[in-house]
Amino acid sequence: MRHAFAICLLCTAALTACGGNAPPAPSSRASASQEAVSRIGDVTIRASAVPTNALGEQVARQYGIARTDDTVMLLIGVRQGEGAQETALPARIVATATDLRGRTRPIEMRELRSADPASGQPLLDYVGIADIAPPDTLRFDVQIVREGGATSQMQFSRDFYPR
């Protein structure tokens, strides 16, 4: 079930690495596409923050996101189980982004339903956009409230550089 999420991350990482004639990127640029993972019992929460200009046109269209130099996509998946037995869990996601100047902004998260291309199983992810003025570091604070009221917190930071 997590194949579509992993495929998106791999495509994003590959696209981020494509720079044409651009100078080599600092090694910390890769951290922008790495996923943060939190595991509570048999529930796994995966979060990634990716510059929208690094998204492929098809992915951006699927997510309903404009590709720009000054926005970052936050993608969150909540899954129960392991491997091929994972199922997407509905949740309410509250997220904020704080930049290096200490400015905190809410990120409006919306539900994104799709199907796993490998299995055809339904997927449920959450996507939102944060503004950025690279170079900068954003700290993401995420609260996940699953059906039934179980609450989880996640915090991670990512560095972003001009393209």
Rounded distance, CA 109 to CA 126, Å?
6
**Fold classification of 3-160 (topology level):** Immunoglobulin-like (2.60.40)
Side chain identity, residue 37: V
pLDDT at site 20: 32
pTM over 0.85: no
Sequence-ordered list of residues with C-beta below 8 angstroms from that of 96, at least 6 positions apart, any chain: 104, 105, 106, 107, 140, 141
pLDDT digit of tens for each residue in the chain (163 aa)? 444 444 344 333 333 333 333 323 333 344 445 899 999 889 999 999 999 999 999 989 988 999 999 999 999 999 998 877 788 999 999 999 999 999 999 999 999 987 776 777 778 999 999 999 999 999 999 999 998 888 999 999 999 999 7
Q: What is the three-class DSSP state of 137? A: strand
**Calpha distance 28→163 (Å, rounded):** 13
